[in-house]
Amino acid sequence: MAASLSTIVPYIVVRNTKKLHIQPSPIHVFAKPSQKLNTHCSNVLAKSALTNSPHKWVITPSAISSSSGTETSAMTKGNIDLLESVVVLDLDGNEIPISDLWKDRKAVVAFARHFGCVLCRKRADYLAAEKEKMDAAGATLVLIGPGSVDQAKAFSEQTKFKGEVYADPSYSSYKALKFVSGVSTTFTPGAGLKIIQAYVEGYRQDWVLSFEKDTRTRGGWQQGGIIVAGPGKNNISYIHKDKEAGDDPDIEEILKACFV
């Protein structure tokens, strides 16, 4: 979870005998963010120009996510064409065209909010728990995060993530896929409750990564998603776009797409 979100949980849970209520709370559960952090909380994602491509992109019916995330129908051919120019970095700093990650294989690709995010660490485990089933379907588990190679290495070492990890310092894949960003997608009752649940389960924010420039200058408002793609550069068979922080899709939908 972003430094801006995990720093303050603006909700408390009130129970009575019949209902569970979530209401605003003035209590700061975690450390108060610095003024310096707040000055960097603007969203600086640049608009990408659509490019014309002669290649045909294939989106199968299974691509539509019925989970709480946005649907594939909101994603145009122009959005997908932008992926052709996207380059990510492996843990050795080598540049790799993102579509090469699924050119010759099927891949489940998770896009983290940032490498220090507590909910992204929980999602990494959520996906890794089903890795044997993904392997049986011939699908490789991949995680991409907006940030530096050093941040990606730290995430990989800390979480012992079972899949491949790549960095996207320019956020270009997030722009191409039009993942949502903004304060309204970060500070929500659902996200606040999920942070509390993650902490209860033992997950922790990495504050060093959360307060590094790559995260601070973006404000920590970026949301991610999950795609299932390949084999073939132009074949995306499933996409889930997070509506808010911690918006995990049904794992069965992802596994179903792996076996298509």
The predicted-structure confidence for 26-67, as pLDDT tens digits, reads as follows: 323 333 334 343 333 333 323 333 333 333 334 444 444 434
Name the packing angle between helices 189-200 and 118-128 (round to 10°): 70
Per-residue model confidence (pLDDT) at position 77? 66
Q: Which residues, 6+ apart, have CB-to-CB distance to 3 below 8 Å?
A: 33, 37, 116, 205, 207, 210, 211, 215, 216, 220
Q: Which residues, 6+ apart, have CB-to-CB distance to 251 below 8 Å?
A: 126, 127, 130
Per-residue model confidence (pLDDT) at position 212? 76
* Domain 55-188+202-258 grouped into CATH 3.40.30.10: yes
Per-residue model confidence (pLDDT) at position 16? 38
Q: Within the chain, which residues score under 50 in pLDDT?
A: 1-75
Is residue 144 within 8 Å of 166, Cβ to Cβ? Answer: yes
Strand partners of residue 225 = 111, 241
Per-residue model confidence (pLDDT) at position 78? 66
Per-residue model confidence (pLDDT) at position 218? 63
DSSP string, 61-115: GGGB--SSSBPGGG--HHHHHGGGG-EEE-TT--EEEGGGGSSSSEEEEEE-S-T
